Chains A and B, each alone.
Chain A
Amino acid sequence: MATNDFRTSAPPRGEIDGINLPKPEIFTLDNGIEVYLLSIGTEDMMKVDIAFEAGKVFEKQPLVSLFTSKCLIEGTKKFKAAEIAERVDFYGAHLNTFNTADNAQVSLYCLNKHLGSLLPVMQEVALQPVFPEEEVNTIVAKTREEFLIKLEKVDFLANQAFQTLAYGKDHPYCASVVAEDYDNLNSGLLKGFFGQHYFQGKIRIVVSGRVPENTDKLLNQYFGAHQVYPQKNQVVVPPGQATLGEHFILKENALQSAMQIGKPFINKLHPDYHKAKIMNTLFGGYFGSRLMTNIREDKGYTYGIRSVMLTMMQSGLFYITAQVGSEVTQKAVDEVFYEIKRLQTEPVEQEELDLVKNYLMGGFLRSADGPFALAELVKGVAEYNLGMDFYNSYIKTIKTITPEEIQHMAVKYLQPDSLIKVVAGKK
């Protein structure tokens, strides 16, 4: 057997330099709806996303925006729910609705050859939903059952409590609900919400894939004639009323506890966002992070622990989350604070920071790989009225950030007494 000396050190690595992001083509339909089009890819398939300013932040009653978007596919002027489902499945497509804190989105994912057969369905779903009472009630009942099942999970309980503590129960961004909220829904509320919010405000279409030639004409035909009202009275979200301190949620007989530790945080529009994001990656945002290395790989307290930054239009959240053995819960929490302290008091070694930088550059390359991944990047900035330049500044920040800046971010944003601490589990 040959000598194995060559195995003792890593093969040479190449730097990942700047990434040339393809620029989407931007145009407007006859009624002013903005379209972003990204035509790349190797397969004859595509995705059409339509986003409305109709997320949770606009609702007056819990769950109304969620069920409005869920029930778009439950019947329209022309089609019954079953007909929509059958037609979408027949063409091997996916037609999904999503609802976030700020937006509602309808997405179509299909082979190019079926676009012409599917756009009429998508048009109906987005423009002419009727929210039939019986269908709405069935979906509400079904989702309520799923909610009751989630209430049996410690991580869900911890998150519900955390949301309430971070923002306050009635805050527009507080994503915590109770079973009774489902009982207060009805078809009329959804109709009202749709009428009031879906065509007021900015509507944005993102098309991606190996997009066929005539797609712009088809989009104009199906979505360009509807009357839209781009001026919308924006909801101004007040800052949350965080309730600090330690909170415990009892779940009898739980074998593990879920912990969630965090606070309302900066969002994409904040000048510190990229730096904080890099600090968060190093702290708990990848497999080799400080939290994983200590609490999983050294101590074996958990199957997984991570820290997360969520961004919304007018707020953000930061939290650490894990499910840990009941008997080691306190030890795991202590280790989290130990790691925060370490990040605040000791500058990161250059070698560790370089590793994180390379990991993030590779990660960015992956997040820009292929048309649908790129479409997500486009949406990720368009929503905030940011340009693709946002990503160039992200890359620049990765390349230039120093150990001192990481430490400064940790000192500025992770003060232990600014964090809400929730544990759900048994006593």
Chain B
Amino acid sequence: MINFEKFTLRNGLRMIVHHDNSTPIAAMNIIYDVGARDEDPEKTGFAHLFEHLMFGGSINIPKYDEPLEKAGGENNAFTSNDVTNYYLTLPKQNLETGFWLESDRMLQLAFSEKSLEVQRNVVTEEFRQSYLNQPYGDVWLMLRPLAYKVHPYQWPTIGKEISHIQNASMEDVRAFYKKFYNPENAIVVVAGDVHSDEILKLAEKWFAPIDNTGKNERNLPVEPAQTEQRTLEAVRNVPASAIYKVWHTCSRNHPDYHATDLLSDILGNGNSSRFYDQLIKNKKLFTSLDAYIMGSFDNGLFVVSGKIANGTSMKDAETAIETEISRIAIDLVAERELEKVKNKVESNLVFARMNVLDKAMSLAFAGLLGDPSDVNFEGDKYRAVSSQKLRETAQKMFQPTNCSTLYYLKKN
């Protein structure tokens, strides 16, 4: 159980406070309701580039990191297709430094040409390091546009191509900030040995004076149901061929979400999963084979990805995956196997309550999805999934026409 209190400031900023007196560390997590899905298709990679610029100085603070480090703090941030999330931890007695830093960059960023220039280069190197100069690094650059034809999930957070980053202008950046970095578009969570009245006071001092410039109303195109199998082949200089299959699935808030997640656990999570036991250890067709869901806010993907063992043909590999997929769509999952994946979820939920930062982040995500108290009902929702529900969900999702496949072949 994660206790919390919440309130909303007059400018629309939502605040959540979690009390935990077992630690000298306080965490502050700020989630902004903007991700790669909100980008212009001709200017992709912006939400993420922007995340970098958020450290380049704000109106009263020339460098974000220095004062935080001086206060014994540490921070980081990440951008997904759905959100941009900033977080910091510091000794509790220095918590106000966090309020100062975060409110100042919500109030007004101080962009410099130099900072933009440097971060364009840094992100270009990140693009190369994580996507282009890595074996299999370009998979999602191909898979996303294969699966999504309309919805902006068709590009990854790094962007479609390096040129989008390199062409980012000061004007673009200012417009992006104005549109999305607004109190009403964010949730602040504070967790630690703190009480809501002291947090309310700090919030009134630091965040409440920031003007509300209007909430961004999101209106994204809905991906139409896929009606034909899609395939793509890529030949690359890699040591082993790989296969990637994705099926369209529900959104994070959909009632089928928990069943879908458990299906991925049964198939491909851990050393007792069906994929590992049958296809890696027993039949030795793959050297790795995973199943997982993207967990995206809008309709997402169920992903199966595997590295194919030397000597296995692509066709045999694909048939083996399809056999396991149809088995789970036809045969009811046995009680013990279902119990196993539920138990795993139960302990993972406890593991995720081990420190104040993880708890703050969970509350922020749940808050943005609609209700922070959902963090305390996740376990029950997984527990409630029956074998019948799993089969029904699998049958609905694992239609051949709902599937896109990338054959990633090694050059020889």
| Contacting residues of chain A (373-404) with chain B, CB-CB under 8 angstroms | none
Contact of B347 among A45, A135, A154, A256 (CB under 8 A): A45
Residue A333 at the chain B interface, CB threshold 8 Å: no
| Chain B: CB-nearest residue to A148 | B239
- Are A369 and B355 in contact, CB atoms less than 8 angstroms apart? yes
Q: Which residues of B contact A296 (CB under 8 A)?
A: 118, 122
A301 touching B74 by the CB < 8 A rule? no
Q: In the complex, what distance in Å separates the CA atom of A287 from the CA atom of B122?
A: 14
A93 within 8 A of partner (CB): yes
A to B contact number (C-beta, < 8 Å): 214
Q: Which residues of B contact A1 (CB under 8 A)?
A: 209, 211
Bound-state CA distance A130–B1 (Å) is 42
Q: Is A142 a contact of B287 with CB atoms below 8 Å?
A: yes
A356→B346 CA distance, assembly (Å): 40
Contact residues in A for B371 (Cβ distance below 8 Å): none
Tell me the B279-331 residues at the A interface (CB within 8 Å): 280-281, 284, 287-288, 307, 309-310
Binds B, one of A2-10, A58-66, A311-319: A2-10
**Given A11-B100, A148-B240, A152-B135: A287 touches B91 (CB 8 Å cut-off):** no
Which A-chain residue is minimally distant from B135 (CB atoms)? A152
Contact A370 B23 (CB under 8 A): yes
Q: Within B348-382, which residues are at the interface with A (CB < 8 Å)?
A: 348, 350-351, 353-355
B residues within 8 A CB of A90?
A: 272, 336, 339-340, 343
A89 x B354 contact (CB < 8 A): no
| CB–CB A86/B272 < 8 A | yes
B118 partner, pick from A86, A145, A149, A297, beta carbons under 8 A: A297
Q: Which of A16, A152, A255 contacts B128 (CB 8 A)?
A: A255
Q: Given known contacts A81-B281, A92-B347, is B307 in contact with A300 (CB within 8 Å)?
A: no
Q: Which residues of A contact B121 (CB under 8 A)?
A: 299-301, 325
Complex contact A366–B25 (CB within 8 A): yes
Residues of A within 8 A of B288 (CB): 142, 146
B70 touches A354 (CB 8 A): yes
B122: shortest Cβ distance to chain A, in Å?
A: 5
Interface membership of A222, Cβ < 8 A: no
B65 at the interface (CB under 8 A from A): yes
The binding surface of chain B is classed by DSSP as: helix
Minimum distance in angstroms from A355 CB to a CB of chain B: 5
Identify the closest chain A residue to B345 (Cβ).
A92
Interface size class on chain A is 35 or more
Give B270's nearest chain A residue, CB to CB.
Answer: A89
Q: Least Cβ distance of A97 to chain B in Å?
A: 12
Tell me, in angstroms, the Cα distance from A89 to B288 when the chains sit together. 18
- Contacts of A154 on B, CB cut-off 8 Å? 133
* Chain A positions within 8 Å of B132 at CB level: 255
Is A324's CB under 8 angstroms from B91's CB? no
> A239: which B residues are within 8 A, CB to CB?
none
Q: Are A14 and B91 in contact (CB under 8 A)?
A: yes
Also in contact, A42 and B70, with CB within 8 A (given A81-B281, A300-B122, A323-B129): no
Q: Are A86 and B60 in contact (CB under 8 A)?
A: no
Residues from 281 to 305 in A contacting B, C-beta threshold 8 Å = 286-288, 296-303
Determine whether A43 belongs to the interface, using a CB cutoff of 8 Å to chain B.
yes
Which of the segments A48-56, A190-198, A357-365, A409-417 contacts the partner chain?
A: A357-365
Contacting A146 at CB < 8 Å: which of B272, B281, B287, B347? Answer: B287
Do B70 and A325 touch across chains, with their CB atoms under 8 A apart? no
Chain B residues near A288 (CB, 8 Å)? 65-66, 69
Question: How far is A42 from B281 in the complex, measured between Cα atoms in Å?
Answer: 38
Tell me, rounded to whole Å, the shortest Cβ–Cβ distance linking B280 to chain A.
7
A85 at the interface (CB under 8 A from B): yes
The answer on a CB contact under 8 Å between B129 and A256 is: yes
B126 within 8 A of A: yes
Residue on B nearest A135 in the bound complex, by CB: B281
Instruction: Map CB proximity to B onto A130-162 as digits: 1 under 8 Å, 0 otherwise.
Output: 000001001001100110110111100000000
Least distance between A199 CB and chain B CB atoms (Å): 26
Distance in angstroms from B381 CB to nearest chain A CB is 16
Minimal beta-carbon separation of A117 from chain B (angstroms): 11
Contact with B along A307-343 (1 / 0, CB 8 A): 0000000000000000111000000000000000000
Whether A111 sits at the interface, judged by CB under 8 Å, is: yes
* Chain B residues closer than 8 Å to A86, beta-carbon distance: 272, 340
A300 to B347, Cβ gap below 8 A?
A: no
Given contacts A146-B287, A300-B120, A363-B74, contact A10 B125 (CB under 8 A): no
Interchain residue pairs A-B with the least CB separation, the first 8: A362-B72, A300-B121, A92-B347, A14-B93, A85-B271, A148-B239, A85-B272, A92-B343
Residues of B at the A interface (CB closer than 8 Å) are 20, 22-25, 59-60, 65-67, 69-74, 89-91, 93-94, 96-97, 99-100, 103-104, 107, 117-126, 128-130, 132-136, 205, 209, 211, 237-240, 270-273, 276-277, 280-281, 284, 287-288, 307, 309-310, 336, 339-341, 343-348, 350-351, 353-355
- Listed by A's residue number, 19 A-B pairs whose Cβ atoms lie within 8 Å are A2-B209, A7-B100, A10-B71, A11-B100, A13-B97, A14-B94, A89-B343, A141-B284, A145-B307, A149-B239, A151-B239, A152-B238, A287-B69, A296-B118, A298-B118, A325-B121, A363-B74, A365-B91, A366-B74
Other CB < 8 Å A-B pairs besides A138-B281, A301-B121, 17 of them? A4-B107, A16-B72, A42-B353, A45-B351, A90-B339, A92-B343, A109-B351, A111-B347, A141-B310, A142-B287, A145-B239, A152-B135, A256-B125, A286-B69, A287-B65, A358-B72, A359-B72
